[in-house]
Amino acid sequence: MYRSTANPTFERTTNGDAPLSPFVVRSTFTSGRLPMLNGSYFSAVLLGGAIGGALDILFAISFAAYNGFAPVRLLQTVASGLLGVSAFAGGVPVAVLGLVLHFGLSFLWATVFSGLALLAYHRTMMVWAMNVKGTLR
């Protein structure tokens, strides 16, 4: 019997003496969780949101600096979505609020994307199981 190390949810068994000939693939997936970052959905959202938010704000600040805008002004622009025009008179505290809002949106989008990926994964596994068992034709 050969157990795959790349995907521990499947195992392959050979037929008799023929090594690695016709494979029978059995699912051993029983936990009901997406195998992502050791099964931790919350960790995946935090990691994805942090990386996505950091790369996005890094690009936005560098692009704004290339065009002659200060990073504080850029972050005040983000905060102006919540505060309106008064955000531009707020200084650094409003820029920090803009950074917090930016990462909040980044974590929100990471949650939405991961939730949709989890839903698609479970739907695919359900359809696959129905096809394997022969209940879906």
Do 51 and 110 sit in the same domain of this protein?
A: yes
**Closest C-alpha to 106, from 61, 47, 63:** 47
Do 63 and 117 sit in the same domain of this protein?
A: yes
> DSSP code of 7?
-
Contacts of residue 63, Cβ cutoff 8 Å, sequence gap at least 6: none
Do 70 and 124 sit in the same domain of this protein?
A: yes
Do 18 and 82 sit in the same domain of this protein?
A: no
Quote the pTM value.
0.64
Do 58 and 20 sit in the same domain of this protein?
A: no
- Give me the number of domains the chain comprises: 2
Do 44 and 87 sit in the same domain of this protein?
A: yes
118: Cα separation from own chain's centroid: 10
Tens-place pLDDT, residues 8-57 = 444 444 444 444 434 444 444 444 444 454 557 888 899 999 999 999 99
Do 14 and 46 sit in the same domain of this protein?
A: no
Q: What is the C-alpha to C-alpha distance for residues 24 and 93, in angstroms, rounded to an integer?
A: 61
Q: Domain containing 43: what range?
A: 39-133
